[in-house]
Amino acid sequence: MASTHPEDASVGVVHADNTRLAHEIDNYAEVIHDAAKADEAEHTMSIRQALRIHKKAVFWSIALSAALIMEGYDVVVVIASFYEQPAFLKRFGEEDPATGKLGIPAPWQSGLGNGSSVGGIIGLIINGWASEKFGPRRTYMVSMLGMIISIFGPVFSQTLAQLTASEIICGLFWGVFQTLTTAYASEVCPIVLRHYLTAYINMCWGIGILLSSGVVRACLTINSDWGWRLPFVIQWVWPIPLLLLCYFAPESPWWLVRQGRTEDAEKSVIRLTNPELFSREDAKRSVANMIHTTALEREMQAGTSYVQCFKGIDLRRTEIAMMVFAIQLLSGENLIGQGVQFFVQAGLGTVAAYDVNLALNSMFIVGTIASWFLLSRFGRRTLYIAGLVEMAVVLIIIGALSASKTDAAKWASGALLVLLNFAYNSTLGAVCYVIIAEVGSTRLRAKTIVLARCAYQITNIICGIIVPRMLSPTAWNWGPKSGYFWFGSATLSLVYCIFRLPETRGRSYGELDILFENKVTAWRFSKTKVDQFGIPDPSSSSPADEKVSHESKHE
């Protein structure tokens, strides 16, 4: 389908042979011409122009991504924060024979932490099938209805077994939102805005995490069951408004094109853009570019099943997406999710630990905002690798401080964990969503993101087993010494990214298809030129030999 010509090897140009698409596309010559014009307009569009033209798309992407606020609220903080909460321990805790104190045994901590991950894997797999068959919009609405019902479980649980089962059921629906929102954001916005809206998904997690930290801190002095029930009850605030928003949201035009509904795709593009600045002809050209990219991928790959994700060029794309998501945890981010317990084990009091935890979790928002500026200046690959270096340095310092038992060392460990969270969210945390939204092909995007998130969830289950034991005084009791372990893990992740992570900045989906088809090495992605369109004469019945070379411009 695509080939690297010998005469271009010195300058690094790869070409697509679009003549093979003639049998795939009706009105082939006209579609390719329109696609090329749309692609050129998108590459030369400034941020200000993009915001004026695509402000509706920005709104819908931000609105639907808010589902991740709900997930971040519970999955990352609420359960983990309860392990030191007096009211929760009174209801679910078991007495330690050695100390006489109430606590949640490490095996149950693993079960509670992993419950949502197990359910999430099931939900992810369902979403990969349902979102492609029924569309992202309908899948989102059905899942939100399921979320409303499933919240009853944790609110009325009376035992650790019931609470764990409830987390599994809730996780099933959270699994849908984890990937659906990322795919939607990547499909409704132009290249120049893509990294802002996909990185924003990380901020949604952060908002939910910060809210839950505040709610759990506020409920700390409530001695009844409402001390732990109230944070769960608050989850009902989100689903109904989000369900209504989704009902009025436009469907993804890329999904409509894949279903052969090109007229509906044009209508969707019109709903997502400013009609004063983006005409019906512009919408037609935009859809033509989607048709061209979809046909290009159809020629490159045989199908759209999960099996196809592990075949041919798609294997490399799937591997990168899965590793990028798994490295979120392998980088040492696990210590952040267990912040309260880490601070207590480091020697801080319970109230002080929750106060520092608020500062810790505010870094999800501050870091994501910082990532927007960094992404505009640096590439995805550069930022991701730099983040791993920063985290490795902070982690080894945290480990070294474990040798000191002074109050200053304890507070320094807490401050470094806050710094670690900032480094994570300004680089890996936010950039991960940008990369996984771009690295997969458009026809397999939903399934690629699903598999990437499954890799994250499987890694999360493993970490959910070992991290509580690292921090629990009744198990391994490593405390801040855990920093040494995660330093080693972050370093190995860094080596992988140097050799395997490509630069996707400023590339259209068609360009990325051709780069992967030509097996361009990771460190050459940013400098390789791509000839994406072989533009024929519209008045001719057969494709012409003329080709337009296009060098992708950086955002």
Asked, for residue 328, whether it belongs to a domain, the answer is yes
Is 532 a domain residue?
no
CA distance 293 to 301: 12
For 225-267, what is each residue's pLDDT tens digit? 888 888 888 889 889 999 999 999 999 999 999 999 999 999 9
Looking at residue 277, which CATH number applies to its domain? 1.20.1250.20
pTM for the model stands at 0.81
Whether 549 maps to a domain, the answer reads no
Does a structural domain hold residue 33?
A: no
Query: How many whole angstroms separate alpha carbon 19 and alpha carbon 479?
Result: 62
Q: What angle do CA 509, 53, 262 make, to 5 degrees?
A: 55
Number of domains in the chain: 1
Instruction: Identify whether 339 is part of a domain.
Output: yes
Tell me the C-alpha distance between 37 and 34, whole Å. 5
Residue 534 lies inside a defined structural domain of this protein:
no
Q: CA-CA distances (angstroms) from residue 544 to 17, 290, 540?
A: 11, 21, 8
Say yes or no to pLDDT of 149 above 90: yes
Query: What's the pLDDT score for residue 179?
Result: 84
The chain-wide mean pLDDT, for the chain, equals 83
State the pLDDT at residue 420.
84
pLDDT (tens digit, 9 = 90+) per residue, 280-338?
Answer: 999 999 999 999 888 888 777 656 788 889 988 899 999 999 999 999 999 988 777 66
Question: What would the mean pLDDT of 450-468 be, rounded to a whole number?
Answer: 86
Which residue bears the tokens 């069951």?
225
Please write the tens of the pLDDT for every residue from 58-117: 999 999 999 888 877 866 556 666 777 788 888 888 887 777 788 888 788 778 877 888
Q: Is residue 552 domain-resident?
A: no
- CA 496, distance to chain mean position in Å, is 19
pLDDT, tens digit (0-9, with 9 covering 90-100), for 39-51? 999 989 999 999 9
| Residue that the structure tokens 């808010």 belong to | 66
* pLDDT in the model for residue 86: 81
C-alpha dist (Å) from residue 206 to 225, 238, 424, 461, 463 = 26, 15, 12, 21, 20
Q: Mind listing the pLDDT tens digit for each residue in 155-180?
A: 999 898 999 899 899 888 888 887 88
Q: Cβ(153)–Cβ(170) under 8 Å? A: yes
Apex CA 211: angle with CA 209 and CA 217, to 5°?
100
Specify if 16 maps to a domain. Answer: no
> What range does the domain containing 251 cover?
40-301+312-514
Least confident range from 79-83, 159-163, 497-501, 511-515: namely 79-83
Q: Which two tokens stand for residue 522?
A: 């990771």
